[in-house]
Amino acid sequence: MAFRGVGDLPGLAVNEKLVWMERATKAAATKTPPFLPKSFLKKDGTPNVEFEGYQYFVFPMEHREFSDTGLIGNPLRASKEKGQKANRRYGEHLGRALKELEKVKAEVRNREFINRVRFFHLFRRFSTAFSRCSG
C-alpha cells in the first residue's frame, strides 16, 4: 500500500505520484493545543513548547493537535527538486554524524541481569507460598 501525502517534499522527490498536490492548501499558523494552559505557546511543528519565552519543554504530539489541516508550512512551495535537495542534504548530514560517532570508543559488557532473574524467581516462590497460607 502506498502512502499519499499532500505537498510532501521527500515524497515528491521519490515518486511524484505519491503526492496529491491538487489537494495542497497553504496551512494556517500553528496553534497551541487546548490541553495546554494558556501560558504555553506552540509556534511550529517541532515538539518544543514555549513558556515565558523559553523552549525547555518538549511535548511530542500529532500534527492535528496544533494544526487544523495537519499541515505545517506551505506545501504549495514544494517541488521535486527541493525534495531531492532536502533528501541529499539530510543524507550528507547523517553521514557526517555517523563518521563522528565512529570516533566513540564502545566497550561491550556482559549484560546478563542474573540478580534480576533470581529476584523474580524468589518473588514468585514467595507469592505462591503466601497465597497458599492466606487461602
Confidence of residue 1 (pLDDT cuts 50, 70, 90): very low
Residues 22 and 79 in one domain: yes
Residues 56-66: tens digit of each pLDDT: 888 888 878 88
Query: What pLDDT sits at residue 7?
Result: 47
79 within a domain of the structure (yes/no): yes
- Considering the domain architecture, whether residues 2 and 63 belong to the same structural domain is answered as no
Give 108-122 pLDDT, tens digit per residue. Answer: 777 766 666 555 555
Supply 15's cell numbers.
Answer: 515518486
How many angstroms separate the CA atoms of 71 and 68, rounded? 8
- Give buried/exposed letters for 15-39 (b at 16+ CB in 10 A, else e): eeeebeeeebeebeebebbeebeee
| pLDDT confidence tier of residue 4, bands split at 50, 70 and 90 | very low
CB atoms closer than 10 angstroms to residue 42: 21
Residue 109 lies in a domain: no
Which of the four pLDDT bands, split at 50, 70 and 90, describes residue 102?
very high
Q: Is residue 88 part of a domain?
A: yes
